[in-house]
Structure 1
Amino acid sequence: MRSTTPHTPSDGSISRSTNSPSIRVRWRRVGSAAIAATALVLAGLGTAVQATAAPATTNATAAAKSSTGKVTWTRACATPAKGRMACKALRVTGGTTAFQKAEAKADGVTPKAADASTPSGYGPSDLQDAYGLTSAASSKGSGETIAIVDAYDDPNAEADLAKYRSYYGLSSCTTANGCFKKVGQTGSTTSLPTADSGWAEEISLDLDMASATCPNCDILLVEAKSSSMANLGTAVNRAVTLGAKFVSNSYGGGESSSDSSYDTSYFKHPGVAITVSAGDSGYGAEYPAASQYVTAVGGTALSSGSSSRGWSEQVWSTSSTEGTGSGCSAYDTKPSWQTDTGCAKRAIADVSAVADPATGVSVYDSYGVTAGWYTFGGTSASAPIIAGVYALAGTPSTSSYPAKFPYTAAGTSALNDVTSGSNGTCTTSYLCTAGSGYDGPTGLGTPEGLSAFTG
């Protein structure tokens, strides 16, 4: 019998809210449907669970001033063994998020209590509003399948997804109604990998973000048996074989001379939009974000504002070693649609979306932690968000490479150009510092509707 004992000890963040009509009014533009909150706060809570399998070692914890304020978080997944991929989910454990600050400002109540009963981060209507998706999310996506590729098993994936979707008033997405399917990398629904609590958090984040941006899409979860590139790549191929035209990958690792062969073996799928997290370690290229065949997704800090858009964004950066990834690949060929001159090879990123833990998203998770709501950040959030945008935009043509699509819309109102912030120091400034037009940390910008993601 497959063990369901969580892999790593975890600590969590929790939040609390109470009903308030004034908050419902305040958040009509930027608030999540079904959230009426006055007092929200994050606090740590501890659980100690014995690991079973040991694909990795220790979790890293960050406590630093982010782009928008001081929050603390922990990396969901344990540090991977050499040659393995790391998941990019960051779980907030303390501090006050931008969502909480806005709620407190709206009703004048300082967050001070904590439980896990309600969210403390952005929900579906926030993300849809921020990225011009509100109308599309309600009317498009039916018949499309977003595949989520991760390592190891989350035994509670379907149940946790049901909690998220129910809370936010999204339609049911279950195995029974054909909307949700979970398989291993072989395609089996019963022969699944060893369970791992860190990767289970990643899975919950990915499933929830795909749901947030494309509520009408079907979801296919493909679980690789380990976090090696070979197994994760096999899972990507399985997702495509099973019919997914949109595949989200929230993991990455160091580049290697094998990357060009990985490109053709796992990521060269014409007619399929493949999104990959750009990384959470600041300036520096990672793989598979460096693949010429994928959309590399960077991260921003997203805050509500007084502009006509109603939101503002800047580069997500905590320090020179923590923040969205960017840079020049050492191995991967530059795709024909990239025309920046600072990288002879592939430049990262292409587009971006919210990733700063201080402006994080709400996620429901129960495996290896106290069951409840948590706030997450990292480019693990931005990759499935962008996969959902591609899915709303419709099935790509069979011969196309959807990573090209945003470049045809560069400089137009189809993208929100992010022009402030930096993720480190580099000799070619646009690769680590935001500015008008293309830059490394945020690429061409963030979505403003669907036209930049339509072939």
Structure 2
Amino acid sequence: MRTSPPSTPAIRGRWRRIGSAALGTAALVLAGLGTAAHAGATPMATAKVASSKATWAATPCATPHKAGELACNSFRVTGGLTAFQKHQAQVTGVTPKSADASTPSGYGPSNLQSAYGLTSAAASNGSGETIAIVDAYDDPNAAADLATYRSYYGLSACTVANGCFKKVSQTGSTTSLPSADSGWAEEISLDLDMASAICPKCNILLVEAKSATMANLGTAVNEAVILGAKYVSNSYGGSESSSDTSYDSSYFNHTGVAITVSAGDEGYGAEYPAASKYVTAVGGTALSTSSTTRGWTETVWNTSSSEGTGSGCSSYDAKPTWQTDTGCTKRTIADVAAVADPATGVSVYDSYGITAGWYTFGGTSASAPIIAGVYALGGTPSSGSYPAKFPYNSAGTSALNDVTSGSNGSCSSSYLCTAKSGYDGPTGWGTPEGVAAFTG
């Protein structure tokens, strides 16, 4: 369900939605989905699985507080069964409760590492690297919720006390923080948990902007770089404007730093800062288990004409030298992709502003920190490099999973909105298969 869009042209509005998506048939293999208790379970082909599809709603921060603010790109599942739950039901014969916050109902670290060929790298890489998460407003429970997530999944503690986690304002202050906001707190939990899931050994720096304007969020990006982060994740966006090229030079032109940005959640159409030529624009997929050698399959995330991964041509940003597609004279979105469909979403623990518990989230807000984590596993980018170029060096190789099915809308150059072999708009060059495509 969608209400009428706001009239403000400067902001590409996000409105409350509830949707469902067709799920791929889960293979009756674990593919990393089971807990230790499930590892020896016998697949039950006759298991009774609830037929209700997952339903979800945009998080509150997906609607800007006021004109001039950007929106987060996330959804929270509110009912039905996710792909993860349906798979577990098929494996164990036990149908889980719908929208039950007592246990995780989405993909966890082992699932995501398996899907993207990162199991070995996640176990050994990332020590000493810092992933920065840039969001607006304060999440008072960020450290506690992160601790709960990591403890549940057996990840090492990442706390203020042990130096792994740090939360600061856009000026770098640890005490003078922005006002709290429950909607953005959900986004923050999603981002922190995805960075942890992909790079468990990385340090995490949360930089909170005092509001969701580009000026404040951009200042937070700069602060993250000043504080030493070589990987900066941004899960927000809005309409393009003629000011974007100045924002590029003021906030995103950081050589030797991998800056990831979610491509958007409203289907075909360009957003900023995903359109910046200096960032890695991250599209979204639906991720399901399969009987393939990989054990997973992906298609373009598209729930409806108004909900799905973003892609398209920038109206203002010049095309980076490493992009050679011909459908856009300027910058093309996206570069790579990762899971974003809420129906095949990820587990997140959150307690601020909602009932404390486990939730399943989707949106390209999930895919941006996932890719930031992959960059971190790949190692520190070389001085003077633009890491947004790295996946293009591996284009068409086994270092990326080529997504070849699905679309996110209608467009004049079909590859800009429809997946195909090789480069396409919704998923770029594909999803990670290890870290090789994300190193210099």
Q: TM-score, normalised by structure 2?
A: 0.90
Q: Deviations over 1:128-168 (max 9, x none)?
A: 00000000000000000000000000000000000000000
Q: Post-superposition shift, 1:34?
A: 5.7
Q: Post-superposition shift, 1:26?
A: 5.3
CA–CA distance in 1 between the matches of 2:344 and 2:228?
A: 34
CA–CA distance in 1 between the matches of 2:49 and 2:269?
A: 33
Instruction: Find out whether 1:441 has 2:411 as its counterpart.
Output: no
- Secondary structure (helix, strand or coil) at the match of 2:135 reads strand
Unpaired segments of 5 or more residues in structure 1?
1-9, 11-24, 43-67
Match of 1:390 in 2: 375
CA–CA distance in 1 between the matches of 2:193 and 2:153?
A: 11
Match of 2:414 in 1: 429
Cα 1:166–1:255 change in 2 (3 A) is same
* 1:454 partner letter: T
Q: Post-superposition shift, 1:245?
A: 0.2
CA contact (8 A) 1:41 1:112 kept: no
Instruction: Find out whether 1:346 has 2:348 as its counterpart.
Output: no
Match of 1:310 in 2: 295
Q: How many pairs does the alignment contain?
A: 408
Q: Post-superposition shift, 1:75?
A: 1.3
Instruction: Find out whether 1:259 has 2:259 as its counterpart.
Output: no
CA contact (8 A) 1:164 1:364 kept: yes
Match of 2:115 in 1: 130
* 1:70 partner letter: K
Match of 1:220 in 2: 205
The one of 319, 323, 329 aligned to 1:334:
319
CA contact (8 A) 2:29 2:291 kept: no
- Secondary structure (helix, strand or coil) at the match of 2:132 reads strand
Cα 1:293–1:310 change in 2 (3 A) is same
The one of 205, 212, 234 aligned to 1:249:
234
The one of 79, 94, 99 aligned to 1:109:
94
CA–CA distance in 1 between the matches of 2:391 and 2:437?
A: 5
* 2:140 partner letter: P
Q: Post-superposition shift, 1:213?
A: 0.2
The one of 51, 66, 76 aligned to 2:59:
76
Match of 2:405 in 1: 420
Q: Post-superposition shift, 1:411?
A: 0.5
Match of 2:8 in 1: none
Q: How does 1:23-422 map to 2 (within 5 A)?
A: 27=30, 29-31=31-33, 36=38, 70-78=53-61, 79-80=63-64, 81-112=66-97, 115-422=100-407
Match of 1:61 in 2: none
CA contact (8 A) 1:32 1:124 kept: no
Match of 2:25 in 1: none
CA contact (8 A) 2:33 2:84 kept: no
* 1:30 partner letter: G
* 1:71 partner letter: A
- Secondary structure (helix, strand or coil) at the match of 2:54 reads strand
CA–CA distance in 1 between the matches of 2:83 and 2:255?
A: 39
CA–CA distance in 2 between the matches of 1:26 and 1:32?
A: 9
Q: Post-superposition shift, 1:74?
A: 1.4
CA contact (8 A) 1:272 1:396 kept: yes
* 2:436 partner letter: S
Q: Post-superposition shift, 1:258?
A: 0.1
* 2:258 partner letter: A
- Secondary structure (helix, strand or coil) at the match of 1:147 reads strand
Cα 1:96–1:428 change in 2 (3 A) is same
CA–CA distance in 2 between the matches of 1:89 and 1:201?
A: 9
CA–CA distance in 1 between the matches of 2:261 and 2:417?
A: 18
- Secondary structure (helix, strand or coil) at the match of 2:299 reads strand
Large movers: runs of 4+ above 6 Å = 37-42
Q: Deviations over 1:204-243 (max 9, x none)?
A: 0000000000000000000000000000000000000000
Q: TM-score, normalised by structure 1?
A: 0.87
* 1:235 partner letter: A
Unpaired segments of 5 or more residues in structure 2?
1-15, 17-27, 42-46
Q: Post-superposition shift, 1:109?
A: 2.4
Q: Post-superposition shift, 1:40?
A: 12
CA–CA distance in 1 between the matches of 2:153 and 2:36?
A: 6
- Secondary structure (helix, strand or coil) at the match of 1:120 reads coil
Question: Sequence identity of aligned pairs in percent?
Answer: 78
CA–CA distance in 1 between the matches of 2:283 and 2:305?
A: 15
CA–CA distance in 2 between the matches of 1:446 and 1:193?
A: 35
Q: Deviations over 1:282-313 (max 9, x none)?
A: 00000000000000000000000000000000
CA contact (8 A) 2:73 2:365 kept: yes
CA–CA distance in 1 between the matches of 2:369 and 2:434?
A: 16
CA contact (8 A) 1:97 1:121 kept: yes
Q: Post-superposition shift, 1:77?
A: 2.5
Q: CA RMSD in A?
A: 2.2
Q: Post-superposition shift, 1:71?
A: 2.3
Q: Deviations over 1:52-98 (max 9, x none)?
A: xxxxxxxxxxxxxxxx9832211112411222110011100011111
CA–CA distance in 2 between the matches of 1:169 and 1:34?
A: 12
- Secondary structure (helix, strand or coil) at the match of 2:60 reads coil
- Secondary structure (helix, strand or coil) at the match of 2:315 reads coil
CA–CA distance in 2 between the matches of 1:383 and 1:40?
A: 35
CA contact (8 A) 2:80 2:99 kept: no
